[in-house]
Amino acid sequence: MRKIIFLLLFILFCFSASAQKQYTINGETLELKTEVTGTIDLFWNIIDHEYRYFVRKDNVITELVNTRGNNNKFQEEYKTTLSELTKDSGLNTSDVKLTLYDLGNFINKYNASQDSNYIIASKEAIIKSRLLVFGGVTNSPFINNPDNINNPQFGAEIEVFEGNILPRHTLFFEIKHVLNNDEFKYSTTQLSLGYRFRFINTEKFILYANMVFGTYNFSKNTLSFINEADAIITEEITNNGFDAPFAFGIGADFKITPNSFITLNYNELFALFVDSQDNFSTNVALGYKFNL
């Protein structure tokens, strides 16, 4: 079994190592990934937190740029570059965006027009996923908690996202359990489905907003009160049910290895369709996330 795992890891290492090569362009040495190979080759990478794209034709590599002019408008120089390189095809560059998806489609069309044997590689969406395990505390702000007591929580999450086209948008499914304690005898197991937008999205740091739009809870709350005979009565209330809170939070991922992150989340800051019970959220969780 260990040999199989080692072999798989070795194959993955070799594949990742061969996926990018070094090129010297205008005196700058860059490691670039190959996206398209043909009459025109397309290369790209994230360099200093910026997407950069390059094309090669007749062994000459040219960068595709889109700088701002004095009027603060984008000049779209890359369209002129593509028009010059593909002028023998009649292809129109006016609608080409400076994204890997659009550039890849355009160059594939050009290569196919120049070579009848050219095969356009499938550009189907590549679904990627990450697993998160976490622990933290929460005051369960949408539950009646008169003394604003924090309870421990732990759980796991699967995050899925499209690897090439919409890397900023993700969906996640989470299961978490909130433990009761002597001060606040409330516990719940919650299944939730949500959406995440990465508004800062770099290789080493990701900052995002969360929205949980659906939950199913298996909850238990123990209440104590004094009756007319001055006796302490304890009542255990069990409640299972679905909610659509549309609850918002924020979080960050800090890359620590090529395939893993330390994650910090601050959730349940507010919700559109659930009241906060006058307690501001203390739902904080620290976790470890890794690529699957």
Distance separating alpha carbons of residues 32 and 43, to the nearest angstrom? 6
175-208 pLDDT, tens digit per residue, is 999 999 888 889 999 999 999 999 888 878 999 9
Q: Residue 110: is its pLDDT beyond 80? A: yes
Q: Do 25 and 31 contact (CB within 8 A), yes or no? A: no
Query: Considering the entire predicted model, what is its pTM?
Result: 0.59
pLDDT at 18: 40
For residue 207, give every residue at least 6 positions away whose Cβ sits within 8 Å of its Cβ, in sequence order, or none. Answer: 198, 199, 200, 250, 251, 252
Looking at the predicted structure, is the pLDDT value of residue 14 above 50? no
What pLDDT is attached to residue 263?
A: 98
- Among 134, 141, 137, CA closest to 150: 137
Arithmetic mean of pLDDT, 106-116? 91
Mean pLDDT (the chain) is: 85
Sketch out the chain's domains with CATH numbers.
Answer: 19-114 (no CATH), 127-291 (2.40.160.20)
